[in-house]
């Protein structure tokens, strides 16, 4: 009998975008952690995407709600 691959319950997908990191001030690749949270590949800073006519990435700090990432 052929082996059957088990299906993963939670599919994990990533996407990356080019953007300006507010942490290191570089135009760099940002890896998507969630629909609105990104991590800079240059300095590791966690950023939150804000869309208000222009997409901007701002530093995540102690006031940033990361529960969407943690709780899925």
Minimal CA–CA distance to 20: which of 33, 29, 31?
29
Share of the chain above pLDDT 90, in %: 21
Minimal CA–CA distance to 44: which of 56, 25, 30?
30
pLDDT at 27: 93
Rounded to 5 degrees, what are φ and ψ at 67? -65, -25
Give the total residue count for the chain. 72
pLDDT at 10: 66
Please give the residue that has the higher pLDDT: either 31 or 4.
Answer: 31
């Amino acid at each position: 009998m052929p082996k059957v691959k088990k299906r993963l319950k939670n599919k994990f997908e990533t996407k990356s975008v080019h953007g300006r990191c507010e942490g290191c001030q570089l135009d760099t690749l940002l890896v998507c952690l969630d629909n609105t949270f990104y991590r800079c590949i240059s300095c590791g800073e966690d950023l939150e995407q804000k869309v208000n006519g222009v997409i901007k990435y701002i530093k995540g700090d102690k006031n940033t709600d990361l529960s969407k990432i943690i709780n899925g």
